[in-house]
Chain A
Amino acid sequence: MRKLLLFSVVIIAAISFIIKLGSLQISGTNPEAFKSDPAINAQTIYPSRGYIYDRNDALLVANQAAYDLMVVPREVHLKDTLAFCQLLNINRETFINQIERAKRYSPRLPSVMVSKLSKETYAAFQEKMRKYEGFYIQKQNLRDYKTAAAANVLGYISEVNPWEVKNNPEYNAGELIGKTGVEKQYESIIRGEKGVQYLQKDRFNRIIGPYKNGAHDKTPKAGTNIQITLDKELQEYGEKLLENKRGAIVAIQPNSGEILALITGPSFDPSLLVGRNRSRNYTNLYYDSIAKPTWDRSLLAQPSPGSPFKLINGLVALQEGVLNPLETVYCNNGYFVGKDKKGCHCGGGSRNLYTAISESCNAYFVAVFKKIFQKYPNSDAGLEAWVSHMKSFGLGDYLGTDLPTGAPGRIPGVPFYDAYYGDNKWGPTYFISNAIGQGEVATTPIQLANMTAAIANRGFYFRPHILRKIDNKPFKDSVYNKPVFTSISKEHFEPIIDAMQKVYESGTAKHLKVKGLTMAGKTGTGENYTRINGERKQLTDHSIFVGFSPVEKPEIAISVYVEHGYYGSRYAGYIATLMMEKYLKGNISNKSLENKILESSLEKEYAKPLSGKPFKINEYAW
C-alpha cells in the first residue's frame, strides 16, 4: 500500500495528462485554424483598380499612389534628427509633435507620421529609409481623375459602410467600394481580386516575417480596364456650357444606344472626392440642398417634357390612323378646355402637322389628342392604347440603363386617373395638357433623349448604356445590343422628322441653324410650379430641347433641359445645337451662339423664389 502511493500518483498523472492532451490536440483542432491564429496576421494586398477610358481611348480615371510615412515609436533610434527633418522637409516641432502623438496612440503600433508625401520626398526618403529604424512607407491607392467632368457618371469610391460589409462578405471594414456611377455599377469588374499575405507576428503585434514563406499567400489580380461610351471632349464641353445653370444634357448615339454625354448641372470636379479633403468636400456638396450638385438631374429629374412630347403624340395619331399630316386646325392663339382658354405661343392661324411642330402649336395637338380618344369607344380604351404607345418609347418606367440610379418618369394610365377622379369619372379633357407635354406626364432627360433617338432611328432604340468595352473587348449584352421597337411603324416617322427639320429651317429654332449640318429638333417650354410658404407659385418656365443630327443618318440624339431657362429656343436650344455641332464637326462655326451661352448665368433666376420678395417670371430679356 505504502509502496504504491507514489506509483499511483505518477500513473494517475500520466493518464490525466494524456486524456487532456488528447482533448486539446486531437479533438480540439482544425486545419484552417491558422487563419484565426492571433500570431498570424492576414494582410490584404489590394489590387490596383481598373482604369476608365472614354470612347476614344482618352484616359478618364487612373490611379495614384499616395505615400504615408509611418512610425513605430518604440523602434525609433534616431541619431541625427536634423538630417531626418531636412530629408522630409518638416521642422523640428512638427517632428516632435508627431512622435509624441504616435507614442500616445501606441508605442508599438504604427501611426501616420507624415501623410501624403510628395513623390520627390518619397523618392529621397526611400533611398535612405533603411538607416531610419522604426519608419516605413505605406502606400495607398487613390483614384486619379484625368478630367474635371463627368463626376456623376464616373462616381466615386469610398470606404464600405457597415451595411455593405454585412451584405457583401467579400468586403471588410475600411476597404474601398464604388459608391455611385460607373464605379458602383462595374465595381466587380474594375476592383480586381484581393490578394492576401499571411505574416507571422509576435505577441506585441510586431510583424516578424512571412508565415511559412508565403505558402498560403495569394497574389492580387489587378482590376480590369474598361472603356465607357462617353466622349470626354463632348462631356467637358457640355459641362462648360451648363456652368451657372441647372439642368441636364443627355446625348445618345442612336444606332447603338451609347451615351455620348450625360451631364448634370451644377456638377463638380470628381477630384474633390479624393484624398485628404474628401470628407469636407463631400459634406459641402451633399448639404447644398439648393443647387444639389450630387443629384444627377440627367437621370433623376422628372419635369414635364413640354412640347417635345407633341412629337410622339403626333406619331401616335398617325399610327392610329386618325391624323392626316396636311389636315389643318385653326389656332385662335389658344384653345378651350370647357370654358377655360389656354394660351398658345405659335402665333395663331391655320396649322398642319408640319407647321404645328415647327411653331409648336398647342391648339393643334390638343385637337390631335382628342382625335386619338375619339377613335375608341370609351376613355379607358383610348387611354390604354395611348399609354402602350408611350411606353414603347421607354417612357413611364425605368429605362433600364446600366447606371445605378434612374427614375421612372410618369405616363399616367387608367389606374392613375381612376384613383384620382374615380372610376368612370374622367375623360380625355381632364388630362388634355398631356397632349402638349404638360399635365401629369413626366420624363427624365435621358428618357427624352432616348425618345429622340427612337425617332431618329425611325422606330426603334437601343437601351442607353454607358459601358463600351471591357479590357478592350466590346461589351455584349442582349439587353443593350438588341433594338427595342416602338409601336409606331417606320413610315409615320418621316412627316414628324420633316417637321422637326422645319423647326431648324423656319420654326422656333431657325436662329440656331448650323451651316453644313442637317438637324432635326423640337423646342419645349415647360411650365412649372413650386410652393413658397405653402402657396403654389409659378416659376419661370423650363427651357427644353430635343434634337438629332444628321437627319438622314443620325449620329447623335440629344435632349437638353435647363431649369427656369424660359423658351426652349433659348438655353436648351442653344446648348443642344452647340453640342451636336461640337460632336459632329469638332468645332463651333457660330461663336456668338457659344459665347452667349458661356456668358449667361441663371443664378439670378434661381435666386428669385428664395429671395422672399415678390418676383416676375418669364422675363423677356436674357
Chain B
Amino acid sequence: MRGSIGKIRVDWVSIILYLILVFVGWVNIYSSTVTENHSSIFDFSTIYGKQFFFIIISLCAAGFIFIVNTKAFERFAAIYYFTALLLLSGLFVFGKTIAGATSWYNLGFFNFQPSELAKIATAIALAKYLSDIQTDIKNNLHAAIAFGILLIPALLVIPQPDPGSALVFFALSFVLFREGFSLKLFWGVFAAILLFMAVLKWGVIWSIGGLVLGGGLGFMLKPKRIKWSWTKLSFGLLAGVLFATSVNYVFNEVFEQRHRDRFSLWLDLETDPEILEKINRSIGYNTYQSTEAIRAGGFFGKGFLEGTRTKGDFVPEQHSDYIFSTLGEEWGFLGTTVVVLLFTTLLLRLLFLSERQSNSFNRIFGYGVVSILSIHYIINIGMVLGLLPTIGIPLPYLSYGGSGMLGFTLLLFIFLKLDGNRLKEWD
C-alpha cells in the first residue's frame, strides 16, 4: 500500500483510514442535525453543510502540505510555536466566549480556535527541541525545558477555561517518556491517580491498608535479582500515606462542587438517591443521555436517520463532542466497534510509522501526533461511554468543528509528508 503523489511516497493506509473516519463523522453529523426541511448538503447555514465545507478546506490544506518543503516544518518550529503562544495569549483580550469558554477568535464567517493549531505547533516545537543534537533528556535542565514547552500552552488554555486542551498538551509528555525521560514520573503519576480514586472510593484507612499490604507483598514476592532500597521503599510508602490522607482535603476544599459531582458520578460515590438523581439530571445529564442513546442502538443500530434520541435532540452537543452517541444509536455495536477498530488501527499504524523513522525529528513528531490523537480519542469516547469523567474534548475527524477538523488533518498530513520524505532527506 505505498504509492506516491508526484515524486512523494505516501502511506495510503493512513489516508484511507482518515478518509473513512471523516466520512463516518460527516454522515453522523448530518443525522444529528438534519431537520424536516432537508436542505442541500452545500447549504452552509446548516451544521452538516458547514462541516462539509470544513472537510473540503481541510483536504485542500492537506494537499497544500504536500507541496510545502519538508524542511519548512522543522526549520520554522520556533516561529510556529511562538505564534501559537501569541494567539493563545491574545484570547485574553480578543477572545470570543462560547459555552463559557473564551477559546475562539471571531473571524466573521467562522470561529477559530487557536488551541487546535497550538497543539500542532507544540508538537513540532517539542520534536525540534528533543531532536536537537545538543539536547539530552537525561539532563534535568533539558528535561525541564522540554516540559516547559508543553506546559506554557497548557497554562495558557487552563484559564479560558479549557481543561480538555490542557490535558492534550500534558499528553505530549508521552513523547518525553518515549525519548528517555525517567518512567518513574509516569508510574508515580499513575500510582497517585489510582490512589486518589481508591481513597475517594474506599476511604483513607482501606487505601493505606491496601498500599502497605501491596508494598509488603511486592517486597516478599519480588525476584531475588531485583534489589529494592529500603529507604526508597519506605519513602515511597510514606509519600503514599501522606498523599492518601490529603486526598479528602483536596477533594473537599480545593475542588469545586461541579468537580466533586463529576467524581461522585464517575466513581459512583453518591449513596443518597435524591442527590444522585439531581447529579444525573444536571452534571450527569449528558453522560446519561449519551449512554442511553448508545444502549438504544443495540447490536445492529436503528439505521441511518432512525435514531429517535438523536432526532429528538436528547443528547446535548451531539454533533460535536457527543457524536459517538449518534453512531451508537444509529449504527449499533457494529458501527461503534468498527470505529473503535479504525481508530486503533490508525493510531497503531502511526506508531509503527514513527518507530521506523530514521530522522529523530520525524519520529518524535510522529509520537506527538499519536499522543494528541490518542488522548482525544480515549478521553472523548471514555466520556461518552461514561467510563471517564466529563471533559469537553472533540473526537478527531468525527466531531463537528472547523478548527478541529483542520487541526487534526494538518497534524496527520504533516507527519505523512515527513514520513513520505524520510528516504530523501536531502531534498
Which A residues fall within an 8 A CB radius of B?
1-3, 5-7, 9-11, 13-14, 16-18, 20-22, 24-26, 28-29, 33-34, 37-40, 200-204, 208-209, 211-212
Contact = CB atoms under 8 A, between A and B. Distances in A.
Contacts of B309: 37-39
A590 B299 CA distance: 85
A26 B334 CA distance: 10
B348 A40 contact: no
B103 interface: no
Contacts of A38: 309, 312, 314
A39 B378 contact: no
12 contacts: A5-B186, A6-B351, A10-B347, A10-B374, A11-B344, A13-B377, A28-B295, A29-B296, A200-B312, A201-B312, A203-B289, A209-B36
B341 interface: yes
Contacts of A1: 183
A25 B299 contact: yes
A29 B298 contact: yes
B337 interface: yes
Contacts of A6: 174, 178, 351, 367, 370-371, 374
A32 to B, nearest CB: 12
Given A11-B344, A18-B337, A37-B296, A203 B178 contact: no
B348 A2 contact: no
Interface in B155-192: 174, 177-178, 180, 183, 186
B332 A5 contact: no
A14 B340 contact: yes
Given A37-B308, A202-B312, A212-B306, A7 B351 contact: yes
Contact of B385 (A10, A14, A17): A17
A172 to B, nearest CB: 22
Given A13-B374, A39-B314, A212-B306, 13 more contacts: A6-B367, A6-B370, A7-B351, A9-B174, A10-B378, A17-B387, A18-B337, A20-B387, A21-B294, A26-B299, A37-B296, A200-B311, A203-B312
B239 to A, nearest CB: 23
A202 B314 CA distance: 6
The residue in A9, A209, A212 that gathers the most chain B C-beta atoms within 10 A of its C-beta is: A9
Given A10-B347, A21-B340, A39-B311, A2 B381 contact: no
B313 A17 contact: no
Contact of B298 (A2, A3, A25, A202): A25
B341 A25 contact: no
B337 A21 contact: yes
Contacts of B333: 21-22, 25-26
B238 to A, nearest CB: 27
B355 interface: yes
A323 B381 CA distance: 101
Interface-central residue, A11, A22, A25, A33, by most chain B CB under 10 Å: A25
Contact of B344 (A14, A24, A37, A40): A14
B328 interface: yes
B308 A40 contact: yes
B308 A39 contact: yes
Interface string B208-222: 000000000000000
Nearest to A2: B178
Nearest to A211: B308
A208 B351 contact: no
A17 B381 contact: yes
Contacts of A5: 174, 177-178, 183, 186
Contacts of B291: 24
User: Of residues A5, A29, A208, which shows the largest number of chain B Cβ atoms within 10 Å of its Cβ?
Assistant: A29
A25 B297 contact: yes
B351 A10 contact: yes
Interface string B369-388: 01100100110011001110
A16 B387 contact: yes
A543 B13 CA distance: 105
6 closest cross-chain pairs (CB), A and B: A39-B312, A25-B333, A29-B298, A14-B344, A39-B308, A202-B313
A20 B386 CA distance: 9
Nearest to B377: A13
A40 to B, nearest CB: 6
Nearest to A1: B183
Nearest to A20: B385
A1 B186 CA distance: 13
Contacts of A13: 344, 374, 377-378, 381-382
